[in-house]
Structure 1
Amino acid sequence: MNARLCLLATAVAQSLSFSAFADDSDIERIIVTGDFKSESIQELSASASLFSDTEIASRDAKYLDELLNQAANVNFTAGASRGRFVQVRGIGLRSQFVDPINPSVGMIIDGINYSGLGGAAMLFDVDQVEIYRGPQGTRFGADALAGMIHMESADPTLEPSLKVKLGMGTYNSWDAGVAAATGFGEKSSVRASFYQNKSDGYMKNAYLGRDDTQGIDEQVARIKLHSQLTEHWRTEFVAHFMDIDNGYDAFTLDNSRTSVADQPGKDEQESNAFSLSNIFTGFDFADVELNLSTLDADLLYSYDEDWVCNDPDQPALCKAGLHPWGYSSTDSYQRDRQDNTAELRFDSKGGNWVTGLYYQSRDVDLLRQYTWNDGDFKSNYESENLALYGQIETHISDKTRLVTGLRVERNEGDYSDIYGVNESVEDTMVGGKVALEYQVVPRTMIYTSVSRGYKAGGINAEAIAKANDEGLSQDAEFFLNHRTFDPEYLWNAEFGVKGKSADQRLNLRITAFYMYRDNIQLKAWKTEGQQFAGYFDNGSSGENYGLEIEGEYALSPRLTLSGSLGLLESEIDGFFTADGIDQSGREQAQAPNYQYAVNARFNITDALAVNVGMEGKDEYYFSDSHNSQAPSANLLNASIAYQADYWGLNFWVRNALDEDTYNRGFEFGNNPVNEYATQTYVQYGEPRVAGVSFSYEL
């Protein structure tokens, strides 16, 4: 690990330890719940960010990607209506087409595994969002190679409560939500919420005369039921119902926000999910928890592949489509995904050990309807994961604690399609964590840890299919030699400092990390004219190292500063693209060298507050298979909020200076007018958006 980063972190630990008090009971405790137990973020031996419902409301963030720029070393891509593919420290997927995917960054919402279903990350009535950086090999296993996002909606209460939100903004956007909770009997309570968000989106379609072809139309309903059935038996039930009907019309030949596509795509998700947890506390040695969940999701992702129109009555708008070399095609991916999970867990009474058994099955049916295919393409991928895990905390002294965790996971996947292709993968993977925590003083903790994460191998379904594709048939041997790819392992070493100054005005968390990616999985593309195919391949290795700083400082009783800084260096070793380009020594995709966020909150009165913030990131590569980059960006955000006893108003603006940003990029030829010359095509991020929201809570 970089010695200078460790020296900096040590110096901060010493500065925070000055004049510490013996009693820290008055410290504000920010509690994270996504690990094996609830604990203060200041006591967690891992790098993590937490966003409360107050911070979510201040930005009027409706979806996860409107929040992620605030977290150190966290990036995201769209390639759809939303930025639903997340990267942590430069590691994470960027898209999904034919191939079954194994997520690098997992997502848990109310205990239900939504990994790979980023569209579910709507934020209404969510109490907090936790982002864990680095492999979570013991807790979450194969879905958390690079990190984990944990979201928890508000719990039911015995006392009646009501929450209402109404909002409106630019681009004809509006949203409305209601949540209510109550108790029934003396030991049971329920909370239900419903939310809808609509917007025309940020693209105009000149050919169709519409401004909503990239529109947002999202609904989510959640129900939570908690009941203390007996003295020692508690049950918790969760139900989620989501209906996402978004448009997808993002790319243009001139890289503008004005499309001329005649067949815009869709980005839809209709899903139902349920979980049931039973907790028994009657044993002397441990509490026993049985968690069951099921998720059924119907997904549609489609797009106009040529991005243009072919109408002879519109020769100017449809110039590219009417060109002698022009073409017209669409691509559509319909998935039916069924997940079932079961987890049996034992937590010691003293809270010093936990062990459990985890099972997950996933069944995904794919229907692809593509203009250039001879008939519909259908495939099925069934996978099963079985894991045994355990973690123990050993108190070496009153100030020193050793945390040791281990997880052994077996993954089996079976793939079949209409071409008669049958492939299987079987992997046994081992991950875990060893962390040493030292409480320098009651307000300052330092830790060092070594953890290992893993990501299962998989099947290149698109490569297999393309072996039978006329446009790429000359590459059949290449694709058949890339039918499968192997697991990736990630070693992560961290040194961290977490503390609070003696006067309690400064709260700081610093982590220096070094990660080694063994058998690194990288996405590549094989192109031939206007035909292309994506596939995963294993490089030799990769390195990712850097620094993460997050904190808050009360400059005065009315002015509070907060912010984050992520520094990241990354490198690919031993990877050649399908076109023979050696990417060794190049930075990894989605890995900007720096990211920052600085926010100031000034309480003008007890009821009126102003928030101003800047966030930005360095330039970074869109992909590992080409060298096009997203430019650096710096965005200004602001809000003015008035809060009375039960109601509040919030006037907000994001990207106030209307800076162009890009959240997806490809490099290939798609314009017949310039003879299909290779160039970079981008999808724009959020422009300047502004609005007002009203909230009522009782």
Structure 2
Amino acid sequence: MKPKLTLLSVALSSALFPAYADTQVEDIERITVKGEFNPVTVEKLSTSVSLLNEEELAKRNAIHLEDALNSVANVNFSSGASRAKFFQIRGVGLRSQFVDPINPSVGIVVDGINYSGLGAAANLFDIEQVEVYRGPQGTRFGSDALAGMIYMESATPTDYQSGQVVLGSGNYNSRQIGAAYSNGITDNSAVNISLNSNKSDGYIENTFLNRDDTNNIDELVGRAKVRVDATPDLTLGFVAHYIDIDNGYDAFSLDNNRTTLSDEPGVDQQKTNAYAFNANYTGWSRFNLYINASISDSDLVYGYDEDWSYVGIHEDGYSTTDYYSRNRDDASFEVRLSTNPSASYTNWTVGMYAQRRDVDLQRDFWNWDLWQAADFTSQYDTQNIAIYGQLAHPIGADVKVIAGLRVERNGGDYVDSNLIVEDLSDTMWGGKLAVEYQVSDLTMLYASLTRGYKAGGINGDALGKFKNSGLGNYQTVLADHISFEPETLLSAEFGVKGQSTSGDLALRFAAFYMKRDDMQLKSWINQGAAFTGYYDNATEGTNYGLEAELDYKLTKAISINTSLGWLDTEIDGFVTADGDDKTGREQAHAPGYQYSVGLNYNIREFFYLTLGVEGKDAFFFSDSHDQKSENINLINLKLAYDLGDVTVSAWARNLMDTDYAVRGFYFGNDPRDGYTSKTYTQLGEPLVYGLTLSYQF
């Protein structure tokens, strides 16, 4: 890191958060990060992380994770479905999944259950805290956290009766009904259960079918969590999730607006049953034992009207759809030992993690080469096993050194109906080396070097098309991309975290530089009406930037929350199937800046207002073409009347009804203009508003 940046950060820390050696520190709320090996407050964590608690989520009336992420610095998302399923942190992350198996760059974990690649499951009702880790988390989370991790925790069971009921209604015929209940079962056990239904007609009008619900939302999510204090030293936990998503998918328009002509609108469905068990034993004098095991079974159906229109608009009179039905079974087991903090000067953690994921795909589509309906099946079974360790050793009273290492063996077995059989095996490693300097009890400086990794994979769709003589010169391209190599990411980061003694001011700042080796990028072949996608390894990429979060309580009635992200990215050594060299260009879905400013004003004792402004720079939609979004600025508003147990709120997101894109493609699909190639975009949420009544007890 440059010396002037370090000196600036020290000066900033000293000015805002002096040591106050002779000043009594008031009782300040410390937020505990739950996704780490051991609980730690966010101020003492040498990683750039944003935390969204229930209060922050309620200010936005956020129902799904995509409703909240615009407030987090250097975090973006892509749609291409009814919900945002894929996320990008600091410009790194996948944007979609079609035929081939994928390895997410940004993982999602909910209550210890891995939902990486299943972002539609990120419903926020009764979620106690969302933690967004930026930068590689190789030691803690392994191959699903090349760019970062999103960790969500539902409400903790209470020994006393508590809960909430939420009723909401809004435009587009939106309605929400949610209920959560927590109570003690016996003297040493407690349960928390929740059920939430969210429905909407969606934001699309299908003029051909004369319907306004072809892109509807219909989601039901239930969660249960049990805590058992089996002995004074042994705590057991049980988790169960039920997810039933039956959303429509009719989002792309030939006219690039919210009006579609599809005669066979698609679907975006997910049905998941997931369970987890954990045990925490603290009865030994020198170390503690933690075990977590989980299983999940998900049935996924994703399909759409491929021509976005109806029979008769095309001269050839065709009508085609493309459907992907997947069954995904996950199982994981983790065991780790960690130091009892009261028994050792040096804190250490060692552990083992094993995961198995089996994915079966059935694709039903129109084969343009054969001009007939066709199907495709594949099976991809992966097994991961990892060992890891982390050591935190104090050097004097104020300095701590942290060193971590994780080694992971990944194996994959692939077979499909094109008689393609491939086996993959990779041994990868990640780690962390950090120095933390505690300037005072409330201020910390840190510098870290972290390494993340992501497994390679199989280009099954490309392999199947390789035998197609109609692809001409593209056959050579496909033959060279049977598989793709693992990607690694090395990140250097410097940060400052601090609070004032009064708790009125909090600042978190990070500067980072990341180098990506064998960067995995998506490329496309467009041959007439046939599309084939495959993953390729660019030589490298660079991503560097800044992140800052400031929370300031101006008066007893007024407070502000701000975040700012600045990002610069570049691709080096990537040539598309058409021979276009993208060296020197920015990476996809990596806006140059993002910002969020929230104002909270307690107008009267029971009446408050929240005003938020957020925005992001334009970004490239893809690494294989040069079409871009526009920069956006959105305004959110909420007025609430709080009577203690009952809160009535009126809210609006995207108050100015700004059109903005969350996904974009470039090709020809409109027979009315001779299939001229142009940019097609899926539009994000328009102006939405409503009333919400919540009762807490």
TM-score bin (small chain): over 0.9
Q: Tell me the residue number matched to 1:346.
A: 337
Q: CA deviation at 1:575?
A: 0.5
Please say if residues 472 and 528 of structure 1, whose CA atoms lie closer than 8 Å, have aligned partners that are also in contact.
yes
Counterpart position of 2:418: 419
Give the aligned partner of residue 84 of structure 2: 83
CA contact (8 A) 1:471 1:531 kept: no
The Cα of 1:271 is off from its aligned counterpart by 0.3
Is contact 2:420–2:460 with CA below 8 Å preserved after alignment? no
Please state how far the C-alpha of 1:24 moved relative to its aligned partner: 3.6
Q: CA separation in 1, counterparts of 2:150 and 2:24?
A: 33
TM value normalised by structure 2: 0.97
Contact 1:176-1:195 within 8 A present in 2 as well: yes
Change in Cα spacing, 1:169 to 1:3, as seen in structure 2 (3 Å) is farther
Alpha-carbon contact 2:453-2:489 (below 8 Å) kept: yes
Residue in structure 2 matched with residue 10 of structure 1 by the alignment: 10
Paired residue secondary structure (1:119) = helix
The question of whether the paired residues in 2 share the 8 Å contact of 1:58 and 1:650 is answered with no
Q: Is the 8 A contact 1:409 1:430 kept in 2?
A: yes
- Choose which of 324, 328, 337 in structure 2 pairs with 1:337: 328
Q: How far apart, CA to CA, are the structure 2 residues paired with 1:355 and 1:127?
A: 28
C-alpha displacement of 1:121: 0.1
Kept in 1, the 8 Å contact 2:662–2:684? The answer is yes
1:367 paired residue number: 362
Q: Which amino acid is the alignment partner of residue 630 of structure 1?
A: S
1:144 maps to 145
Q: Deviations over 1:559-592 (max 9, x none)?
A: 0011100000000000001111110000000111
Structure-1-length-normalised TM-score: 0.97
Q: State the distance in 1 between where 2:223 and 2:499 align.
A: 37
Q: Secondary structure of the residue that 2:220 maps to in structure 1? A: strand
The equivalent of 1:316 in structure 2 is none
Corresponding residue number in structure 2 for 1:378: 377
Deviation of the 1:10 alpha carbon: 3.0
Instruction: Note the C-alpha offset of 1:468.
Output: 3.9
Q: Do the aligned partners of 1:23 and 1:442 also contact (CA within 8 Å) in 2?
A: no
| Distance in 2 separating the partners of 1:160 and 1:503 | 33
Tell me if 1:248 matches 2:255.
Answer: no
Per the alignment, residue 438 of structure 2 pairs with 439
Structure 1 position 38, deviation (Å): 1.5
Corresponding residue SS for 2:510: strand
Return the offset for 1:161.
1.2
Secondary structure of 1:465's partner? helix
Q: Which amino acid aligns with 1:115?
A: S
Letter in 2 for 1:254: D
Structure 2 equivalent of residue 673 of structure 1: 672
Q: Per the alignment, in what secondary structure is the counterpart of residue 412 of structure 1?
A: strand
Query: What letter is aligned with 1:345?
Result: R
Contact residue 325 and residue 672 of structure 1 kept, 8 A: no
Distance 1:635 1:326, change over 3 A: farther
Give 5+ residue unaligned stretches, structure 1: 312-320
Determine whether 1:166 maps to 2:161.
no
Deviations along 1:22-74, whole A, 9 cap, x unmatched?
65451221221111122111111000111110111111100000000000000
Counterparts of 1:240-639 in structure 2 under 5 Å? 240-311=241-312, 321-322=313-314, 324=315, 327-350=318-341, 352-372=347-367, 375-469=374-468, 472=471, 475-639=474-638
The one-letter code matched in structure 1 to 2:483 is T
Give the distance between the partners of 2:333 and 2:200, measured in 1 at CA. 38
Q: Which residue of 2 aligns with 1:216?
A: 217
RMSD (Å), alpha carbons? 1.4
Matches within 5 A, 1:98-137: 98-137=99-138
User: Secondary structure in 1 aligned to 2:77?
Assistant: strand
1:200/1:211 contact within 8 Å kept? yes
CA–CA distance in 1 between the matches of 2:358 and 2:398? 47
Counterpart-to-counterpart distance in 2, 1:19 and 1:144: 35
Question: Compared with structure 1, are the counterparts of its residues 474 and 263 closer, same or farther at alpha carbon in structure 2 (3 Å cutoff)?
Answer: farther
Deviations 1:389-447 (A, max 9, x none): 01111010111111111000000011001121101111100100011000112221000
Contact 2:364/2:373 (<8 A) preserved: no
CA contact (8 A) 1:472 1:531 kept: no
What SS does the corresponding residue of 1:54 show, helix, strand or coil? Answer: helix
Matched with 2:641 is 642
The CA deviation at 1:254 is 1.1
Q: Whole-Å Cα distance in 2 between the matches of residues 7 and 688 of structure 1?
A: 44
* Deviation beyond 3 Å, 4+ runs, structure 1: 1-8, 21-25, 468-474
Task: Find the aligned partners of 1:262 and 1:673 in 2 and give their Cα distance.
Answer: 17
CA, structure 1 residues 671+454, in 2 after alignment: closer, same or farther (shift >3 Å)?
Answer: same
CA distance in 1 between counterparts of 2:610 and 2:279 reads 42
Q: Distance in 2 between matches of 1:360 and 1:471?
A: 40
Give the AA of the match of 1:416.
V
Q: Residue 641 of structure 1 aligns to which amino acid in structure 2?
A: A
Matched, 1:29 2:30: yes
In the alignment, the residues of structure 2 paired with residue 502 and residue 55 of structure 1 have an alpha-carbon distance, to the nearest angstrom, of: 23
1:325, distance to aligned residue in structure 2 (A): 5.5
> Quick one: which amino acid aligns to residue 411 of structure 2?
E
| Secondary structure of residue in 2 paired with 1:629 | coil
Post-superposition shift, 1:7? Answer: 4.5
Distance of 1:95 and 1:187 partners within structure 2: 45
| Distance (Å, rounded) in 2 between the aligned partners of 1:82 and 1:253 | 21
Q: Is 1:179 paired with 2:180?
A: yes
SS in 2 for 1:582: coil
What secondary structure, in the 3-state scheme, does the structure 1 residue paired with 2:140 have? coil
- Which residue number in structure 1 is paired with residue 97 of structure 2? 96
Displacement of 1:19: 5.7
CA distance in 2, matches of 1:605, 1:30: 27
Deviation, 1:627, is 0.4
For residue 672 of structure 1, report the CA deviation from its aligned partner.
Answer: 2.0
Pairwise CA distance, 1:626: 0.4
Equivalence for 1:318? none
Deviations 1:171-202 (A, max 9, x none): 00000000111112210111111100000011
1:52 aligns with 2:47: no
Q: Is residue 223–residue 240 contact of structure 1 (8 Å, CA) maintained in 2?
A: yes
SS in 2 for 1:235: strand
Secondary structure of 2:14's counterpart equals helix
Contact 1:18 1:502 in 2 (8 A): no
Deviation (angstroms), 1:285? 2.1
Taking structure 1 as reference, are residues 117 and 478 closer, same or farther at Cα in structure 2, changes over 3 Å only?
same
1:371 counterpart SS class: strand
The whole-number CA distance in structure 1 between the counterparts of 2:53 and 2:602 is 18
Identity, % of aligned pairs?
Answer: 50
Q: C-alpha deviations, 1:361-413, integer Å up to 9, x for none?
A: 00000000002166321100000000000111101011111111100000001
- Shifted more, 227-236 versus 242-251: the winner is 227-236
Q: 1:24 to 1:413 in 2, by over 3 A?
A: farther
Figure out how many residues of one structure are paired with residues of the other and give that number: 688
CA distance in 2, matches of 1:326, 1:502: 72
Q: CA deviation at 1:167?
A: 0.2
Q: Work out whether residues 16 and 502 of structure 1, in 8 Å CA contact, stay in contact via their aligned partners in 2.
A: no
Q: Deviations over 1:288-338 (max 9, x none)?
A: 122110010000000111001114xxxxxxxxx23x266421100000000
How big is the shift at 1:474? Answer: 5.6
Structure 2 unaligned spans of 5+ = none
